Amino acid sequence: MQTQPTHQLTQLELSQTGKITEQIKAVAQNEGLAPELIRSRVAAGEIVIAHHRLRPQQKIVGIGTGLRTKVNASIGTSSDICDIDMEVRKAKVAEQEGADTLMELSADGDFAAIRRAVLAATNLPVGTVPLYQAFKETTAKYANPGKLDPEYLFDLIEQQLADGISFMAIHCGINQYTIERLRKQGYRYGGLVSKGGTFMVAWMDINGKENPLYEQFDRVCNLMKKYDAILSLGNGIRAGAIHDSHDRAQMAEMIINCELAELGRDMGCQMMVEGPGHVPLDEIAGNIMLEKRMSGNAPYYVLGPLPLDSGAGYDHITAAIGAANSSRHGADLVCYITPAEHLALPDENDVREGVRATRLAVRVGDVAKYPEQRENEKAAAMARRDMRWTDLEQHLLFPEIAKAMRQARTPEESNTCTMCGDFCAMKKGTEVFQNDIGEKKRREMI
């Protein structure tokens, strides 16, 4: 374990004093925005900054209002497949493919060794769900997850933070009131799908006690503040089926999480709210509006969402449709879904495809949300029109893939592609309107 940090103000607290920190400057530069604008939104709790005081080489990532929608990739072992080397490779693939953050969600094995190996392998901010390790190790020791000691859980949160974790999904919003809503509505079509959330529900049921993460919320915040980590309020009652979307149990937890986001901000802790889950396409905008309105515009971290339950095998595409809509309507961080979702533990190729699909999806949303970002799309369209293939690559999300695809199917004429060959609409149109194109360029230069 690394040396623990001395007490310092968080990015939220520093911004509220008017200070523009180095982290704020880095976010402003990355986003092409004014540092004072970033500072004011951090001070209001509308932007959080993922960094870590003990990982100076780590990439600094801003998440929130007015910023590019970020992409999270999740990796981690299971009880069936536990291979540290594979998780390290997956972490590297996620970073290579352009993920902004990474969650290490191992559910078996030597948790500390896996976490530290992943942290050493990437410069991305890394998050965890501490309940995974807590319940798994409690079960291994006592053969009963209900014997989890809350003190052990709090110790574990600090251990993970001290290792270099920048943000944590912690299930503070599950309480007795939430569970009562679940019982009174007659459970669910899709059941419970959050591992950490479900085991906490079971712990509360077995012990007849309140969720210690809710009951001692100030203690959770103080631990996060010590390392200036982001507290991401876990969505343990999220819907796992579109027919469960926005049921009373989910909404009860959402209301509580939004209240806790406000309380955490008041304590000086960087706060983020997590969202669903499986949501029909027509409900995504409303879901985001509710979170933003009730939380005081806290950054919203969404899983997908998946607007369909029947897409297994192609759920990276299902989720991309939901992610594009989520980004469009104000989601700030989107967790990818891989082709293996609902079926198997993802491998490196699944991670690669998941990151690519989600990057593409949030780009669609950002172009709709921020009109100024459409200039790149215009430049791409013009390069394609004029058959300037090298110029076109500079404006693509995946230039190497496009280049390799074109080179593998080389046309007879370099100014066409094998899709149309000499029957090319672009080529013929340019010939017809060449004079008009030249005149338009001349006017734009004046």
pLDDT in tens, 306-355: 999 999 999 999 999 999 999 999 999 999 999 999 999 999 999 999 99
The predicted structure's pLDDT at residue 437: 66
Task: Delimit the domains of the chain by residue range.
Answer: 69-367, 372-445
Confidence of residue 227 (pLDDT cuts 50, 70, 90): very high
What is the pairing mode between strands 101-104 and 271-275?
unpaired
Helices (H) and strands (E) in the chain, counts: 19, 10
pTM over 0.85: yes
pLDDT tens by residue, 229-257: 999 999 999 999 999 999 999 999 999 99
Query: Bigger pLDDT: 408 or 427?
Result: 408
Average the pLDDT over 411-419 and give the result: 82
**How many angstroms from the chain centroid is the CA of residue 409?**
36
Beta carbons of 311 and 337 less than 8 angstroms apart: no
The predicted structure's pLDDT at residue 418: 86
Please give the angle made by the CA atoms of 95, 101 and 103, to the nearest 5 degrees.
Answer: 100
Indicate the burial class of 408 (C-beta count within 10 angstroms; 0-12, 13-18, 19 or more): exposed
* Integer Cα distance of 230 and 45 in angstroms: 11
Q: Helix (H, G, I), strand (E, B), or coil: what is residue 334?
A: strand
pLDDT tens by residue, 83-128: 999 999 999 999 999 999 999 999 999 999 999 999 999 999 999 9
pLDDT tens by residue, 251-301: 999 999 999 999 999 999 999 999 999 999 999 999 999 999 999 999 999
The predicted structure's pLDDT at residue 6: 53
The predicted structure's pLDDT at residue 443: 67
- DSSP state letters, 96-133: HTT-SEEEE---SS-HHHHHHHHHHH--S-EEE-HHHH
* Integer Cα distance of 115 and 134 in angstroms: 14
User: What's the chain's average pLDDT?
Assistant: 94
- How many residues comprise the chain? 446
Average the pLDDT over 201-209 and give the result: 96
Query: Bigger pLDDT: 440 or 371?
Result: 371
How many CA atoms are closer than 13 Å to the CA of 61, on its beta-carbon side? 26
Percentage of the chain lying above the pLDDT 70 cut: 96
Check pLDDT > 60 for residue 3.
no
Check pLDDT > 80 for residue 401.
yes
The predicted structure's pLDDT at residue 1: 41
Confidence of residue 416 (pLDDT cuts 50, 70, 90): confident
Q: Is the dihedral of CA 63, 69, 70, 72 positive or negative?
A: positive
* Superfamily name with CATH number, domain 69-367: Radical SAM ThiC family, central domain (3.20.20.540)
